[in-house]
Amino acid sequence: MNNSDFTPRDNFSSKFGIIAAAAGSAVGLGNIWKFPYVAGQNGGGAFLVVYLLFVVAIGLPVMLSEFSIGRRAQRNALGSFKKLAPGKPWYLVGVMGLAASFLILSFYSAVAGWTLEYVFRSVTGVFSGTKEQDFEYIFVSFISGTWRPLFWQLLFMALTAWIVMAGIKKGIEKYTKVLMPLLVIMIIILCIRSTTLPGAAEGLAFLFQPDFSALSTDAVLGALGQAFFSLSLGMGTLITYGSYIGKNNNLSTTVVQVSAADTIIAIMAGVAIFPAVFAFGIDPAEGPGLVFITLPNIFQQMAFGGFFELLFFVLLAVAALTSSISLLEVVVAYFIEELHMKRITATIFAAVMITILGVFCTLSFGVMSGVEIFGMIIFDLMDFTASNLLLPLGGFFIVAFVGWYLGSELSRREISNEGQLKVRYFPVFMFLVKFVAPFAITLVFIYGLGLLRI
C-alpha cells in the first residue's frame, strides 16, 4: 500500500471543498444531458413532479446515510461495510456499487466524449451557418461513426485517470471550485435565450404543467433511477467521499446544499432545453441526442454564439469530469485499501477495464447497433441496469443498513458529530430510512419491472 496516499487519510481541506467535490460529483451529464432527455421521453411535467418527490423522500435520506457510513468507517465503499458489519454479508452492497461504477463510467465516458467533439467543433467553427434541420443529421452521423467517438472517449478516460492519480485533494477540489459557478452562469444565459424564442411557452408548459395521464410505471422507475443517478447515490460514491469528510462537518447541511444545487441545475437545464425544443420543432422524446441537437441551435440564435458555445461545452466537459473522477475513485479507493495496490497502478488498471467496456457502449450506436439484449442496445442496457436497477437496489440496502443495522443511537451520534450538533429532524430521518425509502423503492421496482400490473 502506498502509505503517503492514505495515512493519515487524505481529507478535503475546507467546508467549501467538501461541498464543491460532492456537488461536482452530483452535477454532471446527469443534469444537463440525461435529465432533459428522460423527462422528454416520459411526458415532461408529471415526470418532474415524481422526480422531485423521490429526491426529497428517498434522495436526501440515502445521501445522509452514505455520508454517515463513510465518515464513520473511514474506508472505501466496500471496506466501510466490512468494518461496520464484520463477518456479515453487507459488504455485498459495496460489490454491487463497484459493478455500478464500472457500468456507469463505461457509458458516461462515451457521452463525455461527445461533449469533447462538440468542444472541438466549436473551436473549428464547423457549426456556423448550419441549418436548423441539419443538427440532428450531424449528431447522428458523428455518434454512429467508429474512430472519432472512440478517440474522444479514450481521451476523456485518460483525463479522468490523470486527475484521480493525483489523489483526492490536489485533484478533485481544485478543478471544481472555480468552474462549477461558471457553468451555472452559462446555463442562466441559455435559459434567457431559450425562453425568449418565439413559441417558447409551449416548452415551459411541457415541463411545468404535469399531465399525470401520460405517466407510465416505466416513467416512475425512470424517475427513481434518474434521482439516484443525478445525486450520485446508491453505489457508494458518497460513502467514499464521506470517508474524506472531517469529523466536525455538519453532514445534514452538506446534504441539503448538494441536493438543492443538483436539483436546481437539472431544472434549469430543462428550462434551457424545452422552450428551444418546441421553438425549433424538435421531438422532445428524441432520446440521448436531445441536448446535442438543441443547444447548437440555440447558440446559432445568439450574439457571440460561437464563443458561448465553446465555453458551454468546455464547462460541460469539466462537469462530466468532476463526476467521472468520483466514479473512478470508488473503484480506485477499493483497489488501494482492500487489494493493497498503489494509487497509480489501481487507477490505470481500473481505467483500462472500464474503457474496454466503454468501447462497446460507443460502438453500440454504430457498427454494433444491431446487437440488442432485452430489446436494448448495449449503451441503453448499461444505463438501465446501473441506473434503474443497481443504484435503487444499492440505495435500498444503504438505508436499511443505517435504519436497521447501525440503528438509531449510532446514527444519531455520527450525524450530530457526537452530540455537538442539534439534530431535531432526526426522528424524521430515521422514519424515512427505516420505512418510507425502502417501501417506496420496493413498490417502484415491483411495478416498474412489471412484476405486478396495475
Please report how close the Cβ of residue 26 comes to ligand PFF at its closest, in angstroms. 5
Instruction: List the grid coordinates of 48.
Output: 418532474
Q: Is position 361 an interface residue for ligand PFF (rule: CB under 6 A)? A: no
- Piece of the chain touching ligand PFF by CB under 6 A; list 25-33, 76-84, 187-195, 400-408: 25-33
Cβ-contact 66, 233 below 8 angstroms = yes
Window 271-330: residues binding ligand PFF (CB under 6 A): 323, 326-327
Please report how close the Cβ of residue 65 comes to ligand PFF at its closest, in angstroms. 14
Q: Which whole-number Å values give the CA distances from 53 to 264, 389, 440, in the listed order?
A: 14, 19, 11
Of the pair 235, 314, the CB lying nearest ligand PFF is at 235
Cβ-contact 51, 431 below 8 angstroms = no
* C-beta nearest to ligand PFF: residue: 30
Cβ-contact 320, 156 below 8 angstroms = yes
Which of 399, 361, 53 is CA-nearest to residue 224?
Answer: 53
Torsion angles phi and psi, residue 274, rounded to 5: -65, -40
Q: Is position 226 an interface residue for ligand PFF (rule: CB under 6 A)? A: no
* Contact pick of 50, 104, 336, 390 for ligand PFF (by CB under 6 A): 104
Which DSSP string corresponds to 345-358?
HHHHHHHHHHHHHH
The H-or-E segment that residue 376 falls in is: strand 376-377
Q: Is position 160 an interface residue for ligand PFF (rule: CB under 6 A)? A: no
Please report how close the Cβ of residue 223 comes to ligand PFF at its closest, in angstroms. 14
Residue entry with cell 476523456: 156
- Piece of the chain touching ligand PFF by CB under 6 A; list 22-30, 149-157, 162-170, 290-298: 22-30
Window 325-344: residues binding ligand PFF (CB under 6 A): 326-327
Instruction: List the grid coordinates of 369.
Output: 447497433
Which of 274, 284, 232 is CA-nearest to residue 391?
Answer: 232
Cα–Cα distance for residue pair 108/25, rounded to 1 Å: 13
Please report how close the Cβ of residue 32 comes to ligand PFF at its closest, in angstroms. 8
Q: Is position 98 an interface residue for ligand PFF (rule: CB under 6 A)? A: no
Q: Is position 388 an interface residue for ligand PFF (rule: CB under 6 A)? A: no
| Position 379, amino acid | F
Q: Is position 19 an interface residue for ligand PFF (rule: CB under 6 A)? A: no
Please report how close the Cβ of residue 269 comes to ligand PFF at its closest, in angstroms. 10
Contacts with ligand PFF by CB under 6 A lie at 25-26, 28-31, 104, 229-230, 232, 235, 237, 323, 326-327
